[in-house]
């Protein structure tokens, strides 16, 4: 690939921002209204945490009482961050070493957006498609031939979220990346 996509090109710039003192139920209502899975917890313009669906479910199951809880009581204070100029491959590598599903994209202390596992996969698939489309070469007779990735190249494969198979042709189906066999089920 000539120039790899960066996080800036795929991140969601319209993230939900809340404070530690915000009411948990109001935050849930905001996440539902905005159709988001997580909110960046801010102190002024600095990010200090993230509250996710999982954090909220943990609060429902184990406490504190969600009707009396604040965001600060249930949030994760570990905030995995990445620069907007980071390549999607480097961001995916960083995310794979952490127990998170998203990275907060920052410019210093200020968040610029959020990038999720799904964003990184979609960006990588897009880049592979673009590379295949741009790989047409003109052979010695002057005709065009496709010079796509080799069959033994693992860069254009992924893991099916249903059966766990390393395969080509993954597509989003009911919120999961599925191989052709699992999409038929």
Q: In the chain, which segments carry CATH 3.10.580.10?
A: 7-116
CATH of 7-116, one of 3.10.580.10, 3.40.1280.10, 3.40.50.300, 3.40.50.880: 3.10.580.10
pLDDT along the chain (185 residues), means of 10: 76 93 95 94 92 92 90 91 91 84 86 90 76 53 48 66 82 78 75
The pairing of beta strand 176-178 with beta strand 171-173? antiparallel
To 10 degrees, what angle do helices 53-62 and 24-34 make? 140
Q: Are 55 and 39 in contact (CB under 8 A)?
A: no
């Amino acid at each position: 690939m000539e120039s790899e996509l960066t996080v800036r090109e795929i991140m969601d710039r319209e993230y939900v921002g809340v404070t530690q003192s915000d009411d948990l139920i109001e935050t849930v209502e905001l996440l539902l209204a905005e159709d988001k899975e997580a909110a960046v917890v801010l102190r002024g313009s600095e990010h200090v945490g993230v509250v996710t669906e999982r954090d909220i479910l943990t609060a429902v199951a184990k406490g504190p009482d969600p009707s009396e809880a604040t965001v600060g009581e249930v949030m994760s204070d570990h905030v995995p961050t990445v620069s907007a100029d980071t390549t999607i491959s480097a961001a995916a590598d960083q995310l794979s070493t952490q127990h998170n599903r998203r990275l907060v994209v920052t410019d210093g202390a200020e968040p610029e957006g959020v990038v999720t596992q799904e964003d990184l996969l979609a960006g990588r698939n897009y880049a592979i498609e673009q590379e295949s489309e741009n790989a047409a070469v003109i052979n010695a007779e002057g005709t065009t031939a496709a010079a796509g990735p080799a069959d033994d190249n693992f860069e254009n494969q992924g893991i099916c979220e249903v059966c766990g198979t390393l395969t080509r042709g993954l597509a989003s189906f009911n919120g999961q990346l599925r191989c052709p066999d699992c999409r038929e089920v």
